[in-house]
Amino acid sequence: MTRVMVVEDDENLRVAVSALLRAEGLVVDVAGDLATASAAATGARYDCVVFDRMLPDGDAVDLVHRLRQRGWDTPVLFLTARNSLADRMAGFEHGGDDYLDKPFAVAELTERVVNLCRTAGQPTVLSHADLVLDRARRQVRRAGVLLTLTHKEFAVLEHLLTNVERLVDRSELIEHCWDTSTDPMSNVVDVTVRRIRRKLHEPEIIHTVRGLGYRLGAA
């Protein structure tokens, strides 16, 4: 599943941007300062991080520069009201991949984030047997038949396809396919997998390992 983080101290803007990105099927984590963002960036794998440049505890360019020096390669988009050429150059020179001036159209931001996520080195098409998932087109086909999946169903199936024949437990699926606020004791994973199975029809391709999790592959 494509996972992004939005680092923005303006709560209204943070909520609006996060909502639109989630509507695109992305898993979105949020942070309001550099300290929180730094801890999250070093503890989880993101496909893109959106940084407001000026945050309560400093300039995001400095954090990104430090992270880049340690080998962190996640694509970064900077948001800022500082739109001089010097500010833009500083953003790119210290590890930014894209730069968007405030005020901006949220739809444009969403498109830029999605494009950055696509460049994060992931294969576009995942497949196993007669099941094919196309990340770029957000399509799933079984035996050539186009299926209609919700965003969460697509995310779970995508993660299982990236781990073919490996046991994937419920906690891992929640971590990769839901936001950090999701209760790990809820039954959202089981419900979602049941819906996917109904849509995939026979033969069964997602197998339950009782008490442990799920495995996609041969029986």
Based on the fold, state whether residues 34 and 140 are members of the same structural domain. no
Q: Is residue 128 pLDDT above 70, yes or no? A: yes
Average pLDDT, the chain: 87
Domain count, the chain: 2
Based on the fold, state whether residues 111 and 8 are members of the same structural domain. yes
The pLDDT score that the predictor gives to residue 143 is 93
67-88: average pLDDT:
83
Based on the fold, state whether residues 33 and 82 are members of the same structural domain. yes
How far is the C-alpha of 76 from the C-alpha of 112, rounded, in Å? 10
Per-residue b/e over 2-14, b at no fewer than 16 CB within 10 Å?
Answer: bbbbbbbeeeebb
The pLDDT-based confidence of 46 (bands split at 50, 70, 90) is very high
Query: Structural domain of residue 166, as residue ranges?
Result: 125-216
Q: Is residue 80 pLDDT above 90, yes or no? A: no
Based on the fold, state whether residues 30 and 59 are members of the same structural domain. yes
Based on the fold, state whether residues 103 and 158 are members of the same structural domain. no
* Residue pLDDT, tens place only, 159-210: 999 899 999 999 889 888 876 666 656 788 999 999 999 999 999 999 999 8
**Domain at 70, CATH number:** 3.40.50.2300
How far is the C-alpha of 100 from the C-alpha of 144, rounded, in Å? 40
* Residue where a domain stops, chosen among 118, 142, 167: 118
The pLDDT score that the predictor gives to residue 130 is 93
Based on the fold, state whether residues 102 and 8 are members of the same structural domain. yes
Task: Calculate what percentage of the chain has a pLDDT beyond 90.
Answer: 47
How far is the C-alpha of 91 from the C-alpha of 22, rounded, in Å? 26
Say what the pTM is: 0.60
Based on the fold, state whether residues 109 and 142 are members of the same structural domain. no
Based on the fold, state whether residues 68 and 150 are members of the same structural domain. no
Q: Is residue 111 pLDDT above 90, yes or no? A: no
**Domain at 187, CATH number:** 1.10.10.10
